[in-house]
Structure 1
């Protein structure tokens, strides 16, 4: 099959786009409003976009509490959603009224951040503290319609890591079993069995051919 993505004439019961761009990490976004009321919500349109400076993005469909709070305060956290926290993560996605504390709703502990006011999930093995850099309204899905998604880009100003996951000088992401969104209502978790290392090829001296690094790898993670 080959179809026009603008009209979604795929003929399937569900749009396959989200299943094609997968897996996606889950941005578990923590915010507070001007009154200091907490909010927590998971976003599957989320990722890191640079490391110098460290920056992340998430995309909000409609003006939800997370987006509204970020626009009001200029801050948000992103806690690592893991297999052990999958039920709490799912509960925090409930469509509740503004002002409802999803930390309490999901039985989670709000932990204070060091550099911003928004809290992180204490039970999460890691969290990012972010300041808003820019929001971008994405194009409408059809001409004349209003934009339905807003891209939120944040600069990471603080990072929390549970030190029990630091092993041999590296953060052991496999040990946390991070959750991933696969599209539809499907999720996955990555564990040690799925992890393997692969070094990038290095350019040859003449710059014309690539050589696979082995003993010649310089040991630098870029």
Structure 2
């Protein structure tokens, strides 16, 4: 195996280091976060850091890089309180990835790609049309990660839209059926084609050794 010490990692060429460290944690969720400014400018951006926080209440979090530069998604969420999370699926991966480009806040990524926005009744932020899973989110709180000046944004699910054929009898959402993508590193997209489920696990009865 190739070994990198802490000093090796620190001394790597910048782009190589970014690719290496972003890939080593494994596959990550691939989501588009939709928001809208107080001036009505729609924004959509790709995120690979959405994570489960809790089920009751239903909450998700995602991480933002340092806000030393303008982050349109963050500004929109903080000023309006609402945003959406939309699963990236196979047919939109290229356009979804392009939303990582840094556009001026007067330009909507929906206009710069073939992605289409759609609105649900009584919800401020735009969803991504055609996304098989769409979540309406309300901002709850944020935490500064002092070690690297990133921010953990936590929101609660106030609406959940799922394509009918994806929900199994026990409530499990079968993402493979929807060809939902996962992200490997910064720019590698994978499409899982099946799920292996093993159910809730209980301890085995093992012989106690004296």
1:19 aligned residue: 23
* Residue equivalent to 1:133: 140
User: How much has 1:172 moved relative to structure 2?
Assistant: 2.9
Structure 1, 105-114 or 60-69: larger mean CA deviation: 105-114
Contact 1:115 1:158 in 2 (8 A): no
On the 8 A contact 2:97/2:187 being kept in 1, the answer is no
Runs of 4+ in 1 over 6 A off after TM superposition: none
CA distance in 1, matches of 2:11, 2:90: 33
The 5-angstrom pairing of residues 193-212 of structure 1 reads: 195-203=195-203, 209=206
TM-score of the aligned structures, taking structure 1 as reference length: 0.79
- The structure with the greater share of residues assigned to helix is 2
Contact 2:96 2:115 in 1 (8 A): no
Structure 1, unaligned runs of 5 or more: 142-146, 211-222
> What is the DSSP-based 3-state SS (H/G/I as helix, E as strand, rest coil) of the residue aligned with 2:74?
helix
Match of 1:43 in 2: 47
Q: What stretches of structure 2 of length at least 5 have no aligned partner?
A: none
Name the TM-score, length of structure 2 as normaliser: 0.83
- Distance between the aligned counterparts of 1:209 and 1:72, measured in 2? 56
Report the count of equivalent residues: 198
Larger RCO (CA under 8 A, 6+ residues apart): 2
Deviations 1:128-187 (CA, angstroms, capped at 9, x unpaired): 11100111121143xxxxx2x211111111001222434657533111111111114322
Name the structure 1 match of 2:156: 155
Q: Is 1:89 equivalent to 2:96 in the alignment?
A: yes
Cα RMSD over matched residues? Answer: 2.4
Aligned to 1:34: 38
